[in-house]
């Protein structure tokens, strides 16, 4: 509990005179793909069920936070996305910084500039809140540590970064940790918490440490229902209580599969969760669909291919129409052949993002 007190207790507002100078911090942080999905939350940004994700490598955000001393009151922020001012993102980040300033009161003593770049094309329609908010939270923790030396303990640093990332976007809490992360209290993992994610690296069989996730881009259109609205609709979804109970049961089974290296069981759970997530969308009031015809066609093709060739390749879906192909390294040649021969016609401009499980964020 001592650590908890440390992440809640605000950093000092008064900056030591010898540290009150311009500086910058710089992080890269990846996206993650949930296998057990977070869908439904309660205030403030707390999950209704624990979620578990694999941390990706190529789909990442690079963020530089620069700061210089100022005398005026209030939060001051300039925001650049891909080198251009981005007023909509600036509004969101400003709102976020206001919401976390009780933990980071020193932010108001500086003029802040955030410059951010995504490694993946924005035309791909890939949600980037996990990589973006985790990269920003890591920058905030680095800034705090530079000013006060208060986060020199790596595990405390990660915990606070995950806690702050969560307040920006729930799924971002999980991107702080490499390989695999769990966010939300789960009886099987004593250190788990609703407030921040924890690393599952030590509970992962080696087969999952370089697992592949090829992200097949089916559509880049803006989603008709945002994730924020989707979470909200869970509040009135009649199946919500059953959903939260099932997610908890599945988590236990997934933890066993992950430690045993049971790829088939892992894949079965990933697919159940993907379809259940979209089933929840279809049973919301009002109901909605994020899958496209191509999404369903790819799933059908994949299932037939798997049965025919006995190759362990599975799918999951995020809150959108794109399909994530999950498979172990040893079958990459087979899966890429199948992708080019059978799935290419369903992809937008033949686009897929080859991604895989990785070590997590990196300070630049």
- For ligand 2P0, the closer of residues 225 and 311 by Cβ is 225
Site for ligand 2P0 in 43-62 (CB under 6 A): 45, 51
Q: What are phi and psi of 116, to 5 degrees?
A: -135, 145
Q: Judge contact between 125 and 118, C-beta under 8 A.
A: no
> Of 145, 158, 318, 355, which one interacts with ligand 2P0 (CB under 6 A)?
318
d(C-alpha 235, C-alpha 249), whole Å? 21
d(C-alpha 22, C-alpha 258), whole Å? 45
Q: Which residues are paired to 99 by β-bridges?
A: none
Does 169 interact with ligand 2P0 (rule: CB under 6 A)? yes
Does 177 interact with ligand 2P0 (rule: CB under 6 A)? no
- For ligand 2P0, the closer of residues 37 and 212 by Cβ is 37
Q: Minimum Å distance from CB 49 to ligand 2P0?
A: 10
Contacts of 186 (CB under 8 A, 6+ apart): 50, 192, 248, 251, 252, 255
Q: Which stretch binds ligand 2P0 (CB under 6 A): 4-12, 36-44, 85-93, 100-108?
A: 36-44
Calculate the alpha carbon distances from 335 to 8, 233, 306 in Å: 46, 36, 10
- Provide the mask over 213-232, with x wherever binding to ligand 2P0 is found by CB under 6 A and - wherever it is not: --------------xx--x-
Q: Order of strands across the sheet with 314-317?
A: 314-317, 323-327, 212-216, 352-356
Tokens of 14: 């008064």
24: nearest Cα among 162, 142, 148: 142
Tokens of 246: 């099932």
- For ligand 2P0, the closer of residues 95 and 228 by Cβ is 228
Does 170 interact with ligand 2P0 (rule: CB under 6 A)? yes
- For ligand 2P0, the closer of residues 147 and 197 by Cβ is 197
> Of 39, 106, 266, 346, which one interacts with ligand 2P0 (CB under 6 A)?
39
**Cis-peptide, bond into residue 44, ω within 30° of zero:** yes
- For ligand 2P0, the closer of residues 170 and 312 by Cβ is 170
Contacts of 129 (CB under 8 A, 6+ apart): 168, 169, 171, 172, 227
Q: Minimum Å distance from CB 173 to ligand 2P0?
A: 9
Placement of tokens 């964020």 in the chain: 361
Q: How many residues bind ligand 2P0 (CB under 6 A)?
A: 16
- Provide the mask over 250-269, with x wherever binding to ligand 2P0 is found by CB under 6 A and - wherever it is not: --------------------
- For ligand 2P0, the closer of residues 54 and 151 by Cβ is 54
Q: Minimum Å distance from CB 37 to ligand 2P0?
A: 4
Site for ligand 2P0 in 269-288 (CB under 6 A): 277
Placement of tokens 């059953």 in the chain: 242
Residues in contact with ligand 2P0 by the rule CB under 6 A? 34, 37-39, 45, 51, 129, 169-171, 227-228, 231, 277, 318-319
């Amino acid at each position: 509990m001592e650590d908890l007190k440390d992440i809640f207790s605000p950093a000092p507002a008064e900056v030591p005179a010898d540290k009150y100078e311009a500086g910058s911090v710089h992080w890269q942080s990846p996206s993650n793909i949930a296998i057990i999905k977070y869908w439904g939350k309660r205030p403030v940004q707390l999950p209704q069920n624990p979620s578990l994700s694999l941390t990706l490598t190529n789909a990442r955000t690079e963020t530089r936070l620069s700061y210089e001393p100022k005398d005026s009151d209030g939060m001051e922020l300039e925001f650049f996305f891909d080198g251009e001012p981005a007023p909509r993102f600036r509004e969101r980040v400003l709102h976020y910084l206001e919401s976390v300033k009780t933990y980071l009161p020193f932010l108001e003593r500086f003029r802040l500039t955030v410059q951010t770049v995504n490694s993946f094309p924005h035309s791909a329609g890939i949600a980037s809140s996990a990589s973006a908010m985790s990269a920003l939270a890591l920058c905030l923790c680095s800034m705090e540590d530079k000013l006060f030396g208060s986060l020199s303990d790596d595990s405390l640093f990660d915990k606070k970064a995950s806690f702050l990332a969560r307040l920006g976007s729930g799924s971002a809490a999980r991107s702080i940790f490499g390989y695999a992360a769990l966010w939300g209290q789960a009886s099987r993992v004593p250190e788990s918490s609703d407030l921040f994610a924890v690393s599952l690296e030590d509970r992962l069989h080696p087969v999952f440490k370089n697992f592949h996730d090829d992200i097949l881009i089916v559509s880049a259109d803006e989603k008709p229902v945002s994730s924020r609205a989707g979470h909200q609709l869970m509040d009135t979804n009649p199946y919500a209580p059953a959903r939260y109970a099932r997610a908890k049961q599945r988590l236990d089974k997934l933890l066993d599969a992950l430690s045993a290296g049971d790829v088939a069981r892992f894949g079965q759970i990933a697919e159940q969760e993907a379809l259940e997530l979209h089933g929840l969308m279809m049973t919301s009031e009002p109901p909605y669909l994020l899958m496209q015809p191509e999404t369903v066609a790819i799933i059908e093709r994949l299932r037939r291919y798997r049965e025919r060739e006995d190759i362990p390749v599975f799918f999951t879906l995020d809150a959108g129409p794109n399909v994530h192909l999950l498979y172990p390294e040893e079958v990459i040649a087979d899966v890429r052949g199948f992708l080019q021969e059978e799935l290419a016609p369903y992809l937008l401009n033949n686009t897929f993002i080859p991604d895989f499980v990785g070590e997590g964020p990196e300070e630049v």
